[in-house]
Amino acid sequence: MLTPALSTEGSYRGRFAPSPSGPLHFGSLVAALASYLAAKQQNGKWLVRMEDIDTPRMLKGADSHILHTLEAFGLHWDEQVIYQSLRHDYYNHVLSELQQQSLIYPCVCTRKEIKRSGGLYSNHCRALQHPAEGNALRLKQHHPVLQFTDMIQGQVNTSSSLAHEDYIVKRRDGLHAYQLVVVLDDIAQNINHIVRGADLLEPTARQLGLFQQLNKPAPHYAHVPVIVTEPGLKLSKQNHAPAIDRSTPQPTLCSALDYLGLSVPKEIAHNRAEDILNWALEHFNLQAIPSVSELQLHECS
Q: Is 19 annotated as a binding residue?
A: yes
Q: Which residues pair with 195 in a beta bridge?
A: 222
Q: Which residues pair with 83 in a beta bridge?
A: 50
By residue count, the chain amounts to 301
Cα dihedral 30/31/32/34 (nearest 10): 90
Q: Is 125 annotated as a binding residue?
A: yes
Q: Is 266 annotated as a binding residue?
A: no
Q: Is 16 annotated as a binding residue?
A: yes
Q: Are 4 and 144 in contact (CB under 8 A)?
A: no
Distances (CA, A) of 249 to 101, 105, 226: 51, 49, 21
Q: Are 238 and 22 in contact (CB under 8 A)?
A: no
Distances (CA, A) of 266 to 254, 258, 263, 273, 298: 10, 13, 9, 14, 19
Q: Is 109 annotated as a binding residue?
A: yes
Quote the distance between the C-alpha of residue 193 and its chain's center. 11
Spatial distance between the Cα atoms of 21 and 38, rounded to a whole number of angstroms: 26
Q: Is 107 annotated as a binding residue?
A: yes
Q: What is the DSSP string of 90-139?
A: HHHHHHHHHHHTT-EEEE---HHHHHHTTSS---TTTTS---STTSEEEE
Q: Is 237 annotated as a binding residue?
A: yes
Q: Is 121 annotated as a binding residue?
A: yes
Binding-site residue ranges for ATP: 237
Binding-site residue ranges for L-glutamate: 15-19, 51, 178, 196
Binding-site residue ranges: 15-19, 51, 107, 109, 121, 125, 178, 196, 237
Binding-site residue ranges for Zn(2+): 107, 109, 121, 125
